[in-house]
Structure 1
Amino acid sequence: MKIKETITRLAALLLACATLDARAVDAVIFDRAASSADLRREYSKALLLQVMERTVPEFGPYTIEYADIHMERPRLLAALKDGKLINVTAYPADAKWLKSLRAVPVPTDMGLQSWRISLIDSKNQDRMRKLVLPEGLKEMTAGVGSVWVTRASLHDNGFHYVTGSNYIGLFDMLIAGRFDYFPRGVNEIFQEYDLRKQAYPQLAVEDSVVLHDNIPSMFFVSPKNPQLYKRIRAGMEALLKDGTLERFVLEHHRSYLQRAKLCNRRRIDLPNKDIDPAMLARKELWLDPFNPRHGFCPK
């Protein structure tokens, strides 16, 4: 009886340990891109992998899967609240998301996406160069997604815009003349241009203006996954502290910053009332592309 009882208890202990190990695995479900031509998610996916790997010693194993379908912002927010179809994404921050989800307070790209230059029809290049700023740009019309945070920033700062219902359609709208310029993050515009320049021969990168809207991209975690939030926040802070995050940002974006030639552009600042001033005050969170030490601007 004692031998049988010992075996039974051992089996129960092994089963409990197996169950505990299964529960200890942090399961990430990340959002899916709009299409194979939409490369906006690639950087944040690579960064998330770095975060999860960095935190293995403290938090244990993990898995990363992807949502079955692409979701635009309203549906994505609802799914993140629920935490079943998706539990992590990286997106520009707005007031509703900051209130409803757990936002990791370290910008994923150290603020690079908030430096915006525009895709235009090449016939408008000379006109853009001659604008008196900011008044001249306010007389023109920007194109933006109907639920994008950029729309609120343009509205709050007195710029005209038209909206498109989806990301891919905005490129067609630009070429059709529905709006004059399409502001894009410096981290994404050159991939978009390179992918589409053959299909749209008149597409061009505007070369004289940069908007700075202070909208950080952040990891957002479902409130149903507090442990996952704790892990991603710890990982981002660790990458920031030892300089890995800055090196990672520059490794992925150096060529884009070189092509952007920000120091040759006229700058328009668009204040953002939704971001915690304490976050803006943490200078180590933000990569300044104008700092000569990065080599993009002359000393």
Structure 2
Amino acid sequence: MLNLNFGRFVRATLAAALLAAGQAAATDFVIFDQPVSKADRRREYANALLSAVLERTVPEFGPYQIRHAPVHMERPRLFQALKDGTLINLTAYPVSPGWMRELKSVPIPIDMGLQSWRIFLIDEKSQPALRATRTLGQLARLRAGSGSSWSALQSLKDAHLSVVTGSNYAGLFQMLMAGRFDYLPRGVNEIFAEYDTHKPDHPTLAVEETVLLHDSIPSLFFVSPREPRLHRRIKAGMEAMLKDGSLERLVLDYHRADLQRARLCTRKRFELPNRQLDPALLGRQELWLNPFDPRHGICPAPQPR
């Protein structure tokens, strides 16, 4: 009886070890979203961060492969595809209540909140009116542009700003230059890539020089609810990169030039309400990069009086 029980114990132990080894060696297949076009550079940072996160977690989770969805999807279709998990199982997007309820979010802003600092794309003829703006009430006399499904839309409305919406990302630039609205708020991490891409087709396109909006809307990794292991992996990697400072270093490596080009320190700054934000996210100060902190070298340290 003792030998029989011992044999069973050995077989069970070997089976458990083989199962664990198989799980450790399992390859995680990541299907990330496509950019709008080859000229759209907004996903470069997210792709670099995703690779860093997956590489960081190889010792614990094993190998991985990154693929991309076969086509670009606008936000409503992307949301449905993520819930299904077949065409795509991971993206990085600004938060919205529906996404937070129905997808598995990783509660660390991928860019430490840089996208929530917004400056404007404009037709250069609008610069004098914006330069003269001193209050949100004055800004409300002009028309903002926004995607109809963008997370920033609600914050603009909650601030009682006038907003014109469009359903197509590329079409918003045409609407701006046709005078349908006066300014298009864009994150400091994306505006200059967009400006450089669209300037050849729109010679009077300009980056507005004097106004800064801040809405504290974070962009997070969102994982299909069908992929709990992938969610655990991305969360573990993001926490590790946040803890050792490599997340902040990657953010600044990619976006320092954008921050300097934006000249944030000289702008009029307006805080927008954000009723969509989980208070737990806002409460973790280590999640948010403050571009005005002198240690980043973006804004000069205040001089002693």
TM-score scaled by length of structure 1:
0.92
Q: CA deviation at 1:131?
A: 1.2
**More deviation in 37-46 or 258-267?**
37-46
**More deviation in 255-264 or 23-32?**
23-32
Structure 1 runs of 4+ aligned residues shifted over 4 Å read none
The 8 Å contact of residues 83 and 226 in structure 2, kept in 1 or not, is answered as yes
Q: Distance in 2 between matches of 1:131 and 1:152?
A: 22
Q: Distance in 1 between matches of 2:88 and 2:153?
A: 25
1:64 match: secondary structure? strand
From 269, 292, 302, the equivalent of 1:290 is: 292
Q: Deviations over 1:175-208 (max 9, x none)?
A: 1101000000000001111122222110110010
Asked if 1:229 is matched to 2:245, the reply is no
Name the residue aligned to 2:153: 151
**1:147 is matched by which residue type in structure 2?**
S
Q: Distance in 1 between matches of 2:246 and 2:109?
A: 13
Asked if 1:269 is matched to 2:271, the reply is yes
Asked if 1:167 is matched to 2:180, the reply is no
Query: Which runs of structure 2 are paired with 1:17-96 in the superposition (5 Å)?
Result: 20=22, 24-96=26-98
Q: Distance in 2 between matches of 1:236 and 1:59?
A: 14
The 8 Å contact of residues 24 and 61 in structure 2, kept in 1 or not, is answered as no
Q: CA deviation at 1:266?
A: 0.5
Q: CA deviation at 1:139?
A: 1.2
- Structure 2 stretches lacking a partner, 5+ long: 1-14
Aligned-pair identity (%): 61
Q: Distance in 1 between matches of 2:52 and 2:127?
A: 40
Q: Distance in 1 between matches of 2:178 and 2:107?
A: 39
The 8 Å contact of residues 260 and 298 in structure 2, kept in 1 or not, is answered as yes
From 190, 198, 201, the equivalent of 1:199 is: 201
Q: Distance in 2 between matches of 1:94 and 1:30?
A: 19
**More deviation in 125-134 or 235-244?**
125-134
Q: CA deviation at 1:23?
A: 7.6
Q: CA deviation at 1:274?
A: 1.5
Q: Distance in 1 between matches of 2:78 and 2:126?
A: 35
2:201 match: secondary structure? coil
From 252, 256, 259, the equivalent of 1:257 is: 259
**More deviation in 261-270 or 21-30?**
21-30
The 8 Å contact of residues 145 and 163 in structure 2, kept in 1 or not, is answered as yes
**1:50 is matched by which residue type in structure 2?**
A
Q: How many residue pairs get matched?
A: 286
Q: CA deviation at 1:21?
A: 6.2
Q: CA deviation at 1:132?
A: 2.6
TM-score scaled by length of structure 2:
0.90
**More deviation in 248-257 or 155-164?**
155-164
Q: What is the aligned-residue RMSD (CA, Å)? A: 1.8
